[in-house]
């Protein structure tokens, strides 16, 4: 039995978490949950955005499944997500994007994995506001160690999963120093993993155009924090939207799995949210725990469900509620 820390989160978090728990229970997955919430919900109920009990649990289990957490724009507290990623050095943000039969998109045959550096860059938290001059400085800090770690992780993943090539997305023509760090780190990693047969780099603006023009050309993409945050939503849009894409924050000795999307306040509490993204994140978690057979069985039931539009949630053109969708998956197990 695997012990996993469960954080339902804010907004649609509790609804999609319920759906995933029901599916896992029906599939008799050997996971025992330790529920410890965080975010606006615990700020209101316990006076803490990140209660100590959550840290204690994560440090015991080393694996978490987390729902989305709301972060106010331009004011208020620092992102709970960033705090967790930095505290536990979860430097890899793995975000796969793949086309699925039944989900209508302008493209077929996309199967790429994005590796976003998850703790540095413009998300380092180095922001200064000079009231007198009216200047806001947001420092993007990238380290040699951080760049090496994420680039090596991308190449190691490509080699392990039989993927052919890694593309680096950067802005080295303007941000020359950070760009060079990532380029050098990729070259080092490419030399270490000769089975990854092709390596190239693209300037981020061109990368965006190429992704919406011919996304099938990409296999594994590695990039810095901000570019990765933006590209992963772009990639989500290519394969069916934020309701279907999974994510994982991975460090050397801890991993927290969560969907790419946020707390979706516009549909929270209405039973409209698609639980696929969190379910797919939970399947990545099962693979991480070595439970490949359970993951494959649930994935098959999920893919069967997604084939019929009437079984899907509104974001995919269907009419099913979050819980009805979960029941369709359970029927197919
Ligand atoms: P969002 O991802 O929450 O929503 C963007 C759009 O996608 C909305 O129209 C929403 O309804 C839709 N959507 C998202 N997930 C969906 C799902 N599972 N099923 C159906 N539709 C879905 O992004 P937004 O609105 O920019 O951010 C809302 C809040 O979430 C903010 O406070 C933000 O900071 C936070 N956030 C948290 C993240 C996390 O906890 N990892 C990641 C991204 C944002």
Residues 128 and 233 in one domain: yes
Is the residue at 119 inside a domain? yes
Select from 208, 238, 268 the last residue of a domain.
238
Instruction: Give the span between the Cα atoms of 247 and 201, in whole angstroms.
Output: 23
Ligand 1 center to residue 283 CA distance, Å?
Answer: 20
Residues 110 and 90 in one domain: no
Ligand 1 center to residue 90 CA distance, Å?
Answer: 21
Tell me the average pLDDT across 272-291: 98
Q: What single string gives the DSSP state of each residue in 224-238?
A: -HHHHHHHHHHHHHH
Tell me the average pLDDT across 102-127: 94
Residues 39 and 130 in one domain: no
Residues 224 and 247 in one domain: no
Tokens of 7: 């954080």
Helices 144-160, 176-192: crossing angle, 10 deg rounding: 40
Q: Which residues contact 167 (CB under 8 A, 6 or more apart)?
A: 199, 200, 201, 202, 207, 218, 219, 220, 221, 222
- Whole-prediction pTM value? 0.96
Residues 229 and 111 in one domain: yes
Residue 209, Cβ density class (10 Å: 0-12 exposed, 13-18 middle, ≥19 buried): exposed
Number of other residues whose CB lies within 10 A of the CB of residue 96: 20
Instruction: Give the span between the Cα atoms of 107 and 109, in whole angstroms.
Output: 7
- Mean per-residue pLDDT over the chain, rounded: 95
pLDDT at 199: 73
Is the residue at 116 inside a domain? yes
Residues 77 and 130 in one domain: no
Residues 216 and 274 in one domain: no
CA dihedral for 282, 284, 288, 294, sign (positive or negative) = positive
Bin 269: left if φ > 0, else alpha if -120 < ψ < 50, else beta.
left
Q: Tell me the best of 64, 262, 273 to mutate to test the pocket of ligand 1, counting ligand atoms within 8 Å of each CB and taking the most.
A: 262
Closest to 228 (Cα-Cα) out of 126, 106, 112:
112
Percent of the chain with pLDDT strictly greater than 90: 90
Write out pLDDT tens, residues 141-194.
Answer: 999 999 999 999 999 999 999 999 999 999 999 999 999 999 999 999 999 999
CATH number at residue 326: 3.40.718.10
Measured from CB, residues less than 6 Å from any atom of ligand 1 are 12, 16, 68-71, 81, 242-243, 258, 261-267, 273-274, 277, 315
- Using the atom order of ligand 1, give the atom closest to the CA of residue 261: 2
Number of separate domains in the chain: 2
Which residue lies with its CA nearest to atom 5 of ligand 1?
264
Write out pLDDT tens, residues 197-249.
Answer: 767 899 999 999 999 999 999 999 999 999 999 999 999 999 999 999 999 99
pLDDT at 197: 77
Identify the domain containing residue 184 by its residue range: 106-238
- Using the atom order of ligand 1, give the atom closest to the CA of residue 259: 41
pLDDT at 184: 96
- Using the atom order of ligand 1, give the atom closest to the CA of residue 265: 28
Bin 290: left if φ > 0, else alpha if -120 < ψ < 50, else beta.
left
Is the residue at 101 inside a domain? no
Instruction: Give the span between the Cα atoms of 311 and 326, in whole angstroms.
Output: 10
Ligand 1 center to residue 168 CA distance, Å?
Answer: 26
Tokens of 35: 């529920």
pLDDT at 28: 97
pLDDT at 86: 94
Number of other residues whose CB lies within 10 A of the CB of residue 231: 23
Bridge partner residues of 4 (DSSP): 33
Q: Tell me the best of 261, 272, 318 to mutate to test the pocket of ligand 1, counting ligand atoms within 8 Å of each CB and taking the most.
A: 261
Write out pLDDT tens, residues 48-92.
Answer: 999 999 999 999 999 999 999 998 777 777 788 999 999 999 999
pLDDT higher than 90, residue 264: yes
């Amino acid at each position: 039995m695997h012990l996993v820390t469960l954080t339902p989160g804010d907004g649609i978090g509790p609804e999609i978490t319920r759906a995933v728990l029901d599916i896992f229970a029906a599939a008799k997955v050997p996971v025992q949950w330790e529920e410890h919430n965080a975010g606006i919900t615990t700020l209101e109920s316990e006076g803490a955005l990140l209660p100590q009990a959550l840290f204690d649990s994560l440090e015991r289990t080393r694996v978490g499944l987390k729902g989305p957490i709301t972060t106010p724009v331009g004011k208020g507290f620092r992102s709970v997500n960033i705090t967790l990623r930095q505290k536990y050095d979860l430097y890899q943000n793995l975000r796969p994007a793949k086309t699925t039969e039944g989900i209508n998109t302008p493209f077929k045959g996309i199967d790429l994995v994005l590796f976003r550096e998850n703790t540095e860059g413009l998300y380092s938290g180095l922001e200064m506001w000079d009231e007198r001059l009216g200047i806001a400085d947001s420092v993007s800090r990238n380290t040699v160690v951080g760049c090496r770690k994420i680039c090596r992780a991308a190449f190691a993943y490509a080699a392990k999963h039989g993927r052919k090539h890694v593309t680096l997305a950067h802005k080295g023509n303007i941000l020359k120093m950070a760009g060079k760090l990532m380029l050098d780190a990729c070259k080092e990693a490419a030399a270490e993993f000769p089975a990854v047969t092709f390596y190239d780099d693209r300037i981020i603006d061109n990368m965006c155009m190429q992704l919406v023009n011919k996304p099938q050309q990409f296999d594994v993409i590695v990039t810095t924090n901000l570019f990765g945050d933006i590209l992963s939503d772009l990639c989500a849009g290519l394969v069916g939207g934020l309701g279907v894409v999974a994510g994982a924050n991975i460090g050397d000795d801890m991993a927290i799995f969560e969907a790419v999307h946020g707390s979706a306040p516009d549909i929270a509490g209405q039973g409209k949210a698609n639980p696929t993204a969190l379910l797919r994140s939970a399947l990545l978690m099962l693979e991480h725990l070595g439970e490949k057979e359970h993951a494959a069985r649930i994935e098959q039931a999920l893919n069967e469900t997604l084939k019929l539009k009437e079984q899907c949630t509104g974001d995919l053109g269907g009419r099913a509620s979050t819980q009805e969708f979960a029941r369709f998956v359970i029927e197919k197990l």
